[in-house]
């Protein structure tokens, strides 16, 4: 213990740890506990009846399927955007780099209104899709578009610094040994950035699950078709059905935790395998 204190950068470890636990309790643990306590008033039978309702299951399915699809799209194109920003120099690069963070600064409700206007059947972009009998706004596809918009920065900002740290000498050495571009990327670059890419995917997925503001305007909110679980929670709250709202929230929380735990386990397994 004395050795730990001698080399500690920040003094007052016990005080700092106590403050950290208190802060996490006030911000995270107590609200989550209240969520479970309120749901417990329903009993197991009441909880199961709420979360297995046909409309609730449809909303959960729309939420998680569209969130997963948006996270996959962001993982692919976020990697491409990060690659361009790190590996190439071009006019306006700083502007493009700043635009990546636009979803962070733009209010989600404003983003939803703009996307709904653009992708409506008579919108600037929607009219071109409508000409090919493709409807974006007021469909699950529109939800994927909105969730892709708000989730892109998580992947780019997670992969970008890791990609910048990949040494060019390693790539040159692989190329000098006869490896092609695809082999260099697959065997040298991708293993180095894979954990960061998986982390960005998990962050984008988690962010998409709870998104509300940017989705409600473009989703159409049609039950069993394009209604998301957060909207159903708000509807329950407006009806003063607080226990029903918390039951849906607990179901989302448990499913999200299980999925994120699986992603983290996959990341740990891949990093351990790569370290061998």
Q: Quote the number of domains for the chain.
A: 1
The average pLDDT across 2-26 equals 71
> pLDDT at position 1, please?
46
- 34: in domain: no
> pLDDT at position 273, please?
65
> In this structure, what CATH number is given to the domain that contains residue 248?
1.10.3720.10
- 247: in domain: yes
Domain span holding position 51: 42-274
The average pLDDT across 53-65 equals 94
Of residues 206 and 264, more confidence is placed in 206
> pLDDT at position 140, please?
94
The average pLDDT across 56-61 equals 94
**The whole model's pTM is what?**
0.85
The average pLDDT across 264-269 equals 77
The average pLDDT across 183-202 equals 85
> pLDDT at position 157, please?
94
- 30: in domain: no
- 138: in domain: yes
Of residues 171 and 139, more confidence is placed in 139
> pLDDT at position 11, please?
58
- 36: in domain: no
Give the rounded percent of residues in the chain with a pLDDT score beyond 90. 47
- 217-259 tens-digit pLDDT: 998 888 899 999 999 999 999 999 999 999 999 999 998 888 8
- pLDDT tier for residue 274 given thresholds of 50, 70 and 90: low
- 3: in domain: no
Of residues 7 and 162, more confidence is placed in 162
- 10: in domain: no
Length of the chain: 276
- 54: in domain: yes
């Amino acid at each position: 213990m004395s050795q730990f204190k001698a080399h500690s950068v920040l003094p007052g470890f016990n005080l700092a740890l106590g403050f950290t636990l208190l802060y996490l309790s006030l911000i995270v643990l107590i609200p989550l506990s209240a969520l479970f306590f309120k749901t417990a008033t329903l009993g197991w039978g009441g909880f199961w009846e709420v979360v297995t309702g046909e409309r609730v299951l449809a909303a959960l399915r729309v939420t998680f399927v569209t969130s997963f699809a948006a996270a996959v799209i962001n993982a692919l194109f976020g990697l491409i955007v990060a690659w361009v920003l790190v590996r190439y120099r071009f006019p306006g690069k700083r502007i493009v780099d700043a635009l990546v963070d636009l979803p962070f600064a733009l209010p989600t409700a404003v983003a939803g209104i703009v996307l709904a206007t653009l992708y409506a059947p008579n919108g600037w972009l929607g009219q071109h899709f409508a000409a090919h009998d493709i409807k974006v706004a007021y469909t699950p596809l529109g939800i994927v578009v909105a969730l892709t918009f708000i989730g892109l920065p998580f992947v780019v900002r997670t992969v970008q610094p890791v990609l910048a740290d990949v040494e060019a000498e390693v790539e040159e050495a692989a190329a000098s040994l006869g490896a092609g571009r695809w082999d260099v990327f697959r065997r040298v670059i991708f293993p180095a950035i894979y954990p960061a890419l998986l982390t960005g995917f998990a962050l984008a997925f988690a962010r998409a699950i709870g998104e509300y503001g940017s989705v409600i305007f473009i989703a159409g909110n049609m039950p069993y078709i394009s209604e998301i679980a957060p909207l159903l929670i708000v509807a329950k709250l407006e009806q003063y059905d607080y226990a029903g709202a918390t039951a849906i929230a607990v179901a989302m929380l448990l499913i999200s935790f299980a999925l994120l735990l699986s992603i983290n386990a996959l990341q740990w397994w891949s990093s351990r395998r790569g370290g061998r």
